[in-house]
């Protein structure tokens, strides 16, 4: 026995030395763990709508740090119940949990359960990589022991929940609460907390955006775990599992808003330069109007398939400030990120004609003045009316309402093309316009956003505005980097002329080409169709909102006789009816409300 004891002692002694050296070597390789806030991360950009709800983010989104005491009590309970039930009592490593996991894995013949504690997960997520080496596991255990020695259980859980990934680019529970539910971590319900806790097992796999059914099933599992530890009873778990949450954040809104948010994101460097810190952008978007716009465009495109319409765009803005309230840049953002509301330049056709008539009104013409709608030739060019019919002597109001090309060109030549181009510049259109006689028929390419800016001036009584989507940009630390101070442009249009033009455009809807855009309140607008039916437009406004609709095809393929008074006017009406629900009827600026267009009474 003596030799056996001797060699046993020597083996144990040298084994202890080797183990100590092994641990010392890994301890030496540990990162600096005395300052958890030292670790840097890339900056993010988050966007809030006009009502304050976050609707989009770019880059990894990190929310406001919250302690366990500050967050909803349901969340820590759910996380402990599903991830680490002995967290309050173990010392960073759970031997019982490890033994249980080993037994389950042996019986299954594969790894189906892990034995890591929340403390170990924090050590791995904050300091280490996710490789499966023995060296990484040893360092993870050492870090877990250090964390338990240095922090209280609540502090460890707080740090973990403020840093863990919840999918959809959200890091930390507060970012996740805003991303999925448009609320803070303080306000999470039990069902919402159960969803987030369940996602920790696999943020992408159990995300409601990736698989709604799988996410709900996982939430039910977490609620069952809460019942097992006595946090709730089984009947409560069953009831909540039947309807655990409603997605209200960016994750639950689909991709329709991305046309607007990408437009905003691209502008940020021009306001604050390139920055590495977090940015919070307060935008002008109205989420209710955005939803209404997406639905109106989707409904219009569904109807337009039979007549060769594959794309559409809609822009709505506040005529008083130029704030963009809704933007749809195409049929599907997932299929095409090209923003037709901003980037597509198309011929506006007759939607541009009001600029000609505004120039005439400023020059002294009146809505009831007469003009010849008869064939006209200018510099060898002879425009034809859309229907090849001529009405003879008509008023300016009739010429605009019926969109008579010959009368419009005759009026343009009377007031001068230079005056028309000058009016367009004062309205905010900065691109060079054609000097030729076809100017008044809208041959110069414009975007829906450009036209919305022009029509906002008509709508507000002659004060040009700049269409915009950013109200304020703040740094992550709270400092204001940019705040919009004005919406107006230096130019000015005669209020009398703008009011007279609005009255004329209301006649376009009452008895002209825009009848399908009639609403239950005063509304003015204009139809437009480019050559060969490649583009069809409707631009119109009430006292509260301007909206421009375009339909067509990206490759310029002609549609089947689609005009601005057809599908675009219908999309405009569908959107504006939804947008004005609950709003009082108000007269158009600068006009007599008794003479304005309303929905015609059926015969």
Q: What is the DSSP string of 309-376?
A: --EEEEEEE-TTT-BEEEEE-SS-TTT----TTTT--B--GGGGHHHHHHHHHHTT--TT-EEEES--
pLDDT at 8 over 70: no
User: What is d(CA 357, CA 33) in angstroms, rounded to the nearest whole number?
Assistant: 72
Backbone φ and ψ of 314, nearest 5°: -145, 135
Q: What is the pLDDT at residue 100? A: 66
Q: Supply the pLDDT for residue 596.
A: 40
Per residue in 35-68, pLDDT (tens digit) is: 554 455 667 899 999 999 888 888 888 878 899 9
C-beta of residue 545 within 8 angstroms of C-beta of residue 318:
yes
Which pLDDT band holds residue 319 (cuts at 50, 70, 90)? very high
| Percent of the chain scoring above 70 in pLDDT | 85
Which of 46, 57, 72, 83 is the catalytic position? 83
Q: Quick check: 23 pLDDT over 50? A: no
Write the burial class of residue 110 (CB in 10 Å: 0-12 exposed, 13-18 middle, 19+ buried): exposed
What is the pLDDT at residue 22? 46
Fold of the CATH domain 69-167+183-247: Penicillin binding protein transpeptidase fold (1.10.3810)
- Is the pLDDT at 28 greater than 50? The verdict is no
Our answer to whether residue 350 is catalytic in this structure is yes
Q: Provide the 10 A C-beta neighbour count for residue 366.
A: 11
Listed range (1-15, 223-237, 297-311, 429-443) with the worst mean pLDDT: 1-15
pLDDT at 459 over 50: yes
pLDDT of amino acid 167: 86
* Percentage of the chain lying above the pLDDT 90 cut: 65
pLDDT recorded at residue 25: 43
507 is catalytic: no
Instruction: Please give the model's pTM, rounded to 2 decimal places.
Output: 0.79
The pLDDT assigned to 12 comes to 60
Residue 19's pLDDT band, with cuts at 50, 70 and 90, is very low
Task: Average the pLDDT over each of 131-140, 271-280, 349-358, 575-584 and give the range with the smallest value.
Answer: 131-140
pLDDT for the residue numbered 313:
97
Counting every residue, how long is the chain?
A: 603
Mean pLDDT of 135-144: 70
Nearest one of 213, 193, 215, 191 to 202, comparing CA atoms: 215
What integer pLDDT is reported at residue 149 of this predicted model? 84
CB 153, CB 114: distance < 8 Å: no
Q: What is the pLDDT of residues 398-422, one digit of tens each?
A: 999 999 999 999 999 999 999 999 9
Between CA 180 and CA 167 the distance in angstroms is: 10
**pLDDT, tens digit (0-9, with 9 covering 90-100), for 466-511:** 999 999 999 977 899 999 987 566 668 899 999 999 999 999 999 9
Residue 81 pLDDT level (bands cut at 50, 70, 90): very high
Q: Which one is catalytic: 158, 182, 350, 487?
A: 350
């Amino acid at each position: 026995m003596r030799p056996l004891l001797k060699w046993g002692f020597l083996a144990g002694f040298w084994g202890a030395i080797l183990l100590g050296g092994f641990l010392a070597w890994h301890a030496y390789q540990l990162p600096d763990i005395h300052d958890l806030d030292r670790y840097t991360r890339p900056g993010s950009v988050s966007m809030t709508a006009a009502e304050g709800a976050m609707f989009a983010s770019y880059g990894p989104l990190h929310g406001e740090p919250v302690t366990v005491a500050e967050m909803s009590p349901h969340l820590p309970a759910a996380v402990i119940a599903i991830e680490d039930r002995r967290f309050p009592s173990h010392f960073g490593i759970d031997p019982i949990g490890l033994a249980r996991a080993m037994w389950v894995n042996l019986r299954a013949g594969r790894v189906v359960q892990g034995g890591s504690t929340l403390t170990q997960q924090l050590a791995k997520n904050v300091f280490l990589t996710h490789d499966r080496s023995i060296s990484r596991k040893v360092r993870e255990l050492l870090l877990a022991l250090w964390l338990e020695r240095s922090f209280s259980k609540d502090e460890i859980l707080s740090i973990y929940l403020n840093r863990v990934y919840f999918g959809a680019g959200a890091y930390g529970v507060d970012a996740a609460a805003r991303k999925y539910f448009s609320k803070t971590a303080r306000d999470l319900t039990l069902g919402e907390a159960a969803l987030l806790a369940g996602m920790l097992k696999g943020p992408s796999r159990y995300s409601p955006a990736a698989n709604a059914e799988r996410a709900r099933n996982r939430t039910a599992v977490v609620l069952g775990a809460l019942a097992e530890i006595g946090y709730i009873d089984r009947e409560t778990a069953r009831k909540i599992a039947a309807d655990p949450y409603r997605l209200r954040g960016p994750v639950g809104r689909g991709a329709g808003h991305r046309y607007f948010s990408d437009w905003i994101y691209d502008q940020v460097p021009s306001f604050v330069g390139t920055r590495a810190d977090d940015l919070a952008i307060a935008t002008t978007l109205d989420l209710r109007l955005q939803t209404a716009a997406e639905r109106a465009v989707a409904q219009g495109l569904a109807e337009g398939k039979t007549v060769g319409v594959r794309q559409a765009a809609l822009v709505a803005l506040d005529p008083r400030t130029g704030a963009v309230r809704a933007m749809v840049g195409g049929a599907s953002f997932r299929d095409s990120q090209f923003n037709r509301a901003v980037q597509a330049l198309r011929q506006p056709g007759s939607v541009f004609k009001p600029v000609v008539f505004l120039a005439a009104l400023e020059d002294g013409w009146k809505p009831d003045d007469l003009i010849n709608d008869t064939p006209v030739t200018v510099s060898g060019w002879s425009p034809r009316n859309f229907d090849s019919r001529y009405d003879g002597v008509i008023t300016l109001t009739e010429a605009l309402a019926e969109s008579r090309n010959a009368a419009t060109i005759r009026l343009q030549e009377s007031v001068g093309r230079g005056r028309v181009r000058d009016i367009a510049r004062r309205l905010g259109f900065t691109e060079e316009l054609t000097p030729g006689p076809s100017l008044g028929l809208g041959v110069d390419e414009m975007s829906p956003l450009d036209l919305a800016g022009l029509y906002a001036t008509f709508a507000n009584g002659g004060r040009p505005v700049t269409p915009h989507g950013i109200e304020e940009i703040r740094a992550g630390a709270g400092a204001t980097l940019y705040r919009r101070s004005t919406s107006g442009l230096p130019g000015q249009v005669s209020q009398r002329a703008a009011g007279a033009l609005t009255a004329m455009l209301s006649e376009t809807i009452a008895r002209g080409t825009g009848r399908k855009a009639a609403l239950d309140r005063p509304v003015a607008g204009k139809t437009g169709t480019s050559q060969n039916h490649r583009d069809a437009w409707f631009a119109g406004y009430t006292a509260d909102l301007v909206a421009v609709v375009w339909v067509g095809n990206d490759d310029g393929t002609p549609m089947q006789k689609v005009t601005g008074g057809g599908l675009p006017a219908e999309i405009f009406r569908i959107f504006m009816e939804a947008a004005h629900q609950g709003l009082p009827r108000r007269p158009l600026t600068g006009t007599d409300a008794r003479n304005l267009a309303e929905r015609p009474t059926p015969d």
